[in-house]
């Protein structure tokens, strides 16, 4: 018998889960063609073994302003070692698919630099890298589908053993997804130890451990539980444009050390009415106790897991009324569970090549939730095994910390924009976490599970001059920076700080107005007397819009002088146009004040970035 090749290795690097979705889809399509796969997160792979692999498929996302996702940082650092020769990966064939957003300046930067580095190390590309664009009318799938077709054909040319029946052969979805990958075991309620229902940290950890979703190991159990002590609106009441809240939390037990510039990840609570509706719609018993196991798990191992109440499991792991279901939700034979013929036909059309764009419009563009999809197709009755496998996971939401631990030793502060928007078909949508937080009442003894993470803004030493740009809620991390610098100035000399803030109206959304003004007067750390300054741009308070980049250019001489003294630039806020506009403003200032041509100013800024003195933290 001819020896079959080892499994096709697919490595993914994801920040929010989208790259995992794509990697799983690539894996499914390979398996449907008879090719076994090994799918693994890049941070769980031993990079030193890369030279021994025959073929690797990489699926990587780009975060922030061209940053590698957190799980990829160690892998990328290994690839950049200078002792790796140009022949190290000579026997490796690879393909790269990137997920990005062309609204960002460094579109798919991580996929591009990974492709270049693999080439430099001697690896051979199977096909040209694929670049998915979230801005495309059909999303990243517009690039993914043709890329995969080319991938299978070229992979078959390299090694026909990957596809015993050829790359055109396809196992029908009906057969390929005949059985769920998990099984549910129900337990007698009397045998369940009641102690597990009391500690919320324990509950979250248990729920996430038994979930089939690949949560990072350090994300199973929260770092701590915080108590909400203040929820205060910062914007003018009744403002139709924007609603921003200031939150203060206290550590319940011992405080966790954090630094300015760090990020707090919050696990939101879902709307109880939505949870009840989902459970009712799916004919589930909320009071039953369950354990979730991989289908292939041995029977004798099943009793090792502690049961959890079904309703609690749904609340803590399954996003039923916020996230849109993945394409996999529709591919995985959902139409098999429809009894109404017209619903079955519609669902089959959605997973056909002809229906791809319509599915994208119906699902992702309209941000339909799992509950809404199930309500749109009332004859569908999916077993719990499939729901657990297919419903999107409940994810944490990340917020820049807006306090200094030196100024608030037992507290963490957040500055949160309450998110809402209208879909292309004029349906109102609301962000799950921000709207949940905004409705919380500190008087009700609210406890919130959180994780602390390093952000993109490293804490600066007191001797480093700073130029900070933070319009809107982008000011959040810099509130912590200024608090920290103010504390440091009490015991020693500190370098100047210039801060450029922006909002729409001085009267409506001038966040932390008194705080900034107080630190810019009487020799404060933002005062011009100390070499710094505070400058606010109110974009809608005059006929011609004024943004932070205009204020930076107004003070070009002082900005240039600080840059020459070794200042670091920190930018935070919306990822749409602001970071690119600010970068262009700096290019123009450097060119104007130094007399250098624009190309030299661009190189000057690149050198600043490479030296670790130009940082951006942006979010969409």
Confidence band of 196 (pLDDT split at 50, 70, 90): very low
Residues contacting residue 54 through CB under 8 Å, at least 6 positions apart? 5, 6, 91, 92, 93, 159
Using pLDDT thresholds of 50, 70 and 90, give the confidence band for residue 567.
very high
| Rounded mean pLDDT, 585-606 | 94
Q: Which of 126, 152, 171 is the last residue of a domain?
A: 171
Name, of 104-108, 184-188, 253-257, the range with top average pLDDT: 184-188
77 HSE (CA, 13 A, CB side): 8
Residue 44's CATH number = 3.40.50.360
pLDDT at 356 over 90: no
Q: Which of 143-147, 160-164, 296-300, 532-536 has the lowest mean pLDDT?
A: 296-300
* 613, part of any domain: yes
Mean pLDDT confidence for 427-443 = 95
Note the pLDDT tens digit of each residue in 122-169. 999 999 999 999 888 778 888 999 999 999 999 999 989 899 888 888
Q: In the structure encoding, which two tokens stand for residue 9, read together?
A: 């290795």
Using a pLDDT cut of 70, give the percent of the chain over it.
Answer: 93
Domain assignment present for residue 249? The answer is no
Instruction: Report the pLDDT value the prediction gives residue 105, as an integer from 0 to 100.
Output: 72
What is d(CA 562, CA 500) in angstroms, rounded to the nearest whole number?
14
pLDDT grade for 300, boundaries at 50, 70 and 90: very low
pTM flag (> 0.85): yes
Higher per-residue pLDDT: 178 or 595: 595
Span 194-217, mean pLDDT? 67
Question: Which residue segment(s) compose the domain that 499 sits in?
Answer: 466-618
Domain count, the chain: 2
Q: How far apart are CA 260 and CA 615, in angstroms?
A: 14
- Residue 296 resides in a domain: no
pLDDT of res. 1 = 44
Binding residues: 14-19, 61-64, 134, 367, 397-400, 431-434, 473, 539-540, 545-549, 581, 619
Q: What is the pLDDT of residues 3-16, one digit of tens each?
A: 555 689 999 999 87
Provide the annotated binding site for FAD: 367, 397-400, 431-434, 619
CA-based end-to-end distance of the chain: 54
pLDDT at 302: 52
* Confidence band for 102, pLDDT divided at 50, 70 and 90: confident
Q: Taking 60 as the threshold, does the pLDDT of residue 207 lie above it?
A: yes
Q: The domain that contains 502 carries what CATH number?
A: 3.40.50.80
What span, in angstroms and rounded, lies between the C-alpha atoms of 201 and 193?
Answer: 16
Q: Please check the confidence at residue 198 and state whether its pLDDT lies above 70.
A: no
Is the predicted pLDDT of residue 260 greater than 80, yes or no? yes
Structural domain includes residue 245 = no
The answer to whether residue 110 sits within a structural domain is: yes
Supply the pLDDT for residue 304: 60
507 domain-assigned: yes
Of 122, 153, 171, the one marking the end of a domain is: 171
C-beta separation of 165 from 34 below 8 A? yes
> Residue 284 above 80 pLDDT?
yes
- For the chain, the average pLDDT equals 90
Task: Write out the binding residues for NADP(+).
Answer: 473, 539-540, 545-549, 581
User: What are the tens digits of pLDDT across the range 444-466?
Assistant: 999 999 999 988 899 999 999 99
Let me know if residue 302 belongs to a domain.
no
At residue 373 the predicted structure's pLDDT band, cuts being 50, 70 and 90, is: very high
Average pLDDT of span 266-279: 96
Residue 5: its pLDDT value, please? 56
At 215, is the pLDDT very low, low, confident or very high (cuts 50, 70, 90)?
low
**Percent of the chain beyond pLDDT 90?**
69
Position 76 in a domain: yes
pLDDT at site 455: 86
Measured from the Cβ of residue 251, the count of other Cβ atoms closer than 10 Å reads 15
- Residue at which a domain ends, from 151, 171, 191: 171
Alpha-carbon dihedral of residues 345, 351, 355, 359, nearest 10 degrees?
100
Selected residue with higher pLDDT from 137 and 246 = 246
Half-sphere exposure of 616 (CA within 13 A, CB side): 23
pLDDT for 240? 62
Residue 178, exposed/middle/buried by CB under 10 A (0-12, 13-18, 19+)? exposed
Bridge partner residues of 56 (DSSP): 9, 94
Structure confidence at residue 239 as a pLDDT band (50, 70, 90): low
Specify binding-site residues for FMN: 14-19, 61-64, 134
């Amino acid at each position: 018998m001819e020896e079959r090749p080892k499994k096709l290795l697919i490595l993914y690097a994801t920040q929010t889960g989208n790259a995992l979705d794509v990697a799983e889809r690539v894996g499914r399509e390979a398996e449907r063609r008879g090719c076994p796969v090994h799918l693994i997160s890049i941070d769980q792979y031993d990079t030193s073994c890369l030279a021994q692999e025959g073929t690797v498929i990489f699926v990587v996302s780009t975060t922030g302003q061209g940053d590698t996702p957190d799980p990829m940082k160690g892998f990328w650092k290994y690839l950049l070692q200078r002792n790796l020769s140009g022949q190290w990966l000579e026997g490796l064939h690879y393909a790269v698919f990137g997920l990005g957003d062309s609204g960002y300046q460094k579109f798919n930067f991580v996929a591009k630099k990974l492709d270049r580095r693999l080439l430099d190390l001697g690896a051979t590309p199977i096909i040209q890298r694929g670049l998915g664009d979230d801005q495309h009318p059909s999303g990243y799938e517009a690039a993914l589908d043709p890329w995969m077709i080319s991938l299978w054909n070229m992979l078959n040319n390299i090694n026909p053993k990957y596809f015993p029946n050829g790359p055109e052969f396809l196992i029908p979805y009906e057969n390929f997804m005949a059985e769920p990958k998990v099984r549910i075991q129900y337990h007698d309620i009397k045998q369940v130890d009641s102690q597990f229902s009391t500690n919320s940290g324990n509950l979250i950890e248990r729920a996430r451990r038994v979930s089939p979703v690949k949560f990072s190991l350090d994300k199973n159990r929260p770092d701590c539980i915080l108590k909400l002590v203040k929820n205060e609106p910062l914007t003018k009441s009744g403002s139709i444009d924007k609603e921003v809240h200031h939150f203060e939390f206290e550590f319940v037990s011992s405080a966790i050390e954090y630094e300015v510039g760090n990020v707090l990840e919050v696990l939101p609570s879902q709307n109880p009415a939505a949870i009840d509706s989902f459970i009712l719609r799916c004919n589930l018993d909320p009071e039953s106790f369950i354990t979730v196991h991989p289908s292939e798990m041995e029977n004798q191992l099943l009793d090792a897991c502690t049961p959890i109440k079904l309703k609690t499991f749904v609340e803590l792991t399954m996003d039923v009324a916020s996230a849109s279901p993945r394409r996999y939700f529709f591919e995985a034979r959902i139409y098999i569970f429809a009894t109404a013929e017209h619903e079955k036909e519609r669902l089959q059309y959605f997973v056909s090549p002809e229906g791809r764009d319509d599915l994208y419009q119906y699902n992702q563009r309209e941000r339909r939730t799992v509950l809404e999809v199930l309500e749109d197709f009332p004859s569908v009755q999916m077993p719990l095994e499939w729901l657990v496998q297919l419903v999107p996971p409940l994810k944490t939401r990340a917020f820049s910390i807006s306090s200094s631990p030196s100024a608030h030793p037992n507290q963490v502060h957040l500055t949160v924009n309450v998110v809402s928007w209208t879909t292309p078909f004029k349906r109102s949508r609301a962000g799950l976490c921000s709207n949940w937080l905004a409705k919380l009442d500190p008087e009700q003894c609210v406890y919130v599970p959180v994780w602390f993470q390093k952000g993109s803004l490293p804490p600066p030493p007191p001797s480093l001059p700073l130029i900070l740009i933070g319009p809107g809620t982008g000011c959040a991390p810099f509130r912590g920076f200024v608090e920290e610098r103010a504390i440091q100035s009490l015991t020693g000399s500190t370098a100047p700080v210039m801060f450029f803030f922006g909002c729409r109206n001085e009267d409506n959304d001038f966040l932390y107005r008194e705080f900034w003004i107080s630190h810019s007067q009487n020799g404060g750390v933002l005062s011009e007397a100390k070499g710094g300054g505070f400058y606010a741009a109110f974009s809608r308070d005059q006929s011609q819009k004024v943004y932070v980049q205009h204020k930076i250019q107004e003070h070009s001489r002082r900005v240039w002088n600080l840059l020459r003294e070794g200042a670091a630039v920190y930018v935070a806020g919306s990822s749409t146009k602001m970071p690119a506009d600010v970068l262009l403003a700096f290019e123009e200032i450097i060119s104007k004040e130094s007399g250098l041509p624009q190309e030299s100013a661009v190189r000057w800024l690149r050198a600043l970035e490479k030296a670790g003195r130009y940082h951006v933290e942006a979010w969409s």
